[in-house]
Structure 1
């Protein structure tokens, strides 16, 4: 028996050529030989084809009359997603990603070494899913409006992590601490999307160094968010020096946990 999607009619199938007619068919899995014998498929559709379907019916009938069957040859299955026509688990797996769009999150977030919570946090940040004041305003939920780090501007993800004066001082200190010049705000271009900004931090850098810088970036982003929450929910404020000390201590802890030795530049 030939499944509906097998391409036996000049590289196509009746289902793809005339989907509306296929929907009217009562025996969708009939083999080619039985369908063509004495025009059986025509008799089955008789009195069921409406005027709008006549054009499709005639076009399909012309193609079927041109089809030549080989006596004694049995129908066979062909897997059209592999070069040899044979099904394999690997080809089925690759098929799941057909038409997929490559995401920058793999290189920016998931491959660099970081703790799971930092990776998940960075992933939410890159998708603008953090509940900053601008998102709370859009939902008409209670919010404090101003950035809790500088109390000057509306709190958005771009402002909190990239534009805020305190955040930029943190990045400047960490750039020296990590020996990673691209983390210094003086080297940044203007970007409206956080994910674009993350990508530019390591553009043109060797893979190993890029991975180390991305790990540092996720660590700093996480601590800026912790400080933001401390000021918002607990009215607790840390000095710049204490924030840098916390970041440095956790970088050393990441090294001890089996991280990518982010606390010192790679050779």
Structure 2
């Protein structure tokens, strides 16, 4: 039996690349997510410690997984740091490392972002959806009682305090829509809903997160590095409680 090729992806490669990989029945590995139980400081040989934990995770995965090739999105839908990591990977790996620039504009919608699924499950489905050229099936929309704006965190446990009626905004919504470079969509948030604005520490998107949070009437800005500490979770829990966001139901808001 022929085993499918294992292909690594970083960010959201263009739809034509994902279609090609789906047609090849390749096993797509999301290198942004922790795939191995390894100390992140093993990346220190190649990247500074003061660097986005997601991209340090990318490097760890790329060094330790058996991959045929890697696609790294380095366009406006990712960040300049990904471009630099792609250059490092090209230099230290023997497999092809292919830089892409995703400027896709076809909208696939974002039903998962607006659903009543638990927030961690929403995030899992959205990040998994990058590996397919197909949209998620439609789900009933739930009126929001809270918002999570930002990128998928390296440590999903930071999402645990949120009610199921949380809507997702920011770059994660762009991921589900398969338009990661859509700054207008990324910048959208609901001013009527208490919203946590999140970015990984040392990520370029902290600037937009902080800016939007400053303009939002019911906002908390949070950043985390490798893992979600008790302090960050306590801040989120206190913010949601003080904002009157209680329970897991889909109450109108």
Q: Kindly indicate which of the two structures has a greater share of residues assigned to strand.
A: 2
Structure showing greater relative contact order (alpha-carbon pairs closer than 8 Å, 6 or more residues apart): 2
TM-score by length of 1: 0.22
TM-score by length of 2: 0.23
Q: Kindly indicate which of the two structures has a greater share of residues assigned to helix.
A: 1
